[in-house]
Amino acid sequence: MTPELETLDQLLDGDLSLKIIRKLYPDAAGFKRGAFGLLPSGGVRLLMIDKTEVPKWRWRELFVEESAMDELEEMKLTITGQGVSRIA
């Protein structure tokens, strides 16, 4: 199972912090590519710990420009219906 599908599978049990999700990937580069890849497909939503959604314009800053690694404990992913359908 790919780390991306493993991420979706783990999210079936509830929201997970990026710090936990990072452990599903072999390295930081894979994590950033995988998490960033799941977002535009609509399979997951990126939330702050207080459950406010992180705006789309910020995704690139976090995962491509690499500030996500500094904010792992402040954000989490939640699965959407579309994400559930990918693995169900």
Domain spans, the chain: 3-80
CA 25, CA 4: separation in Å to the nearest integer? 8
Question: What pLDDT, on a 0 to 100 scale, did the predictor assign at position 85?
Answer: 94
- pTM (two decimals): 0.89
Q: Are 63 and 35 in contact (CB under 8 A)?
A: yes
- The string of pLDDT tens digits covering residues 26-72 is 998 999 899 899 999 899 999 999 999 999 998 888 888 767 677 77
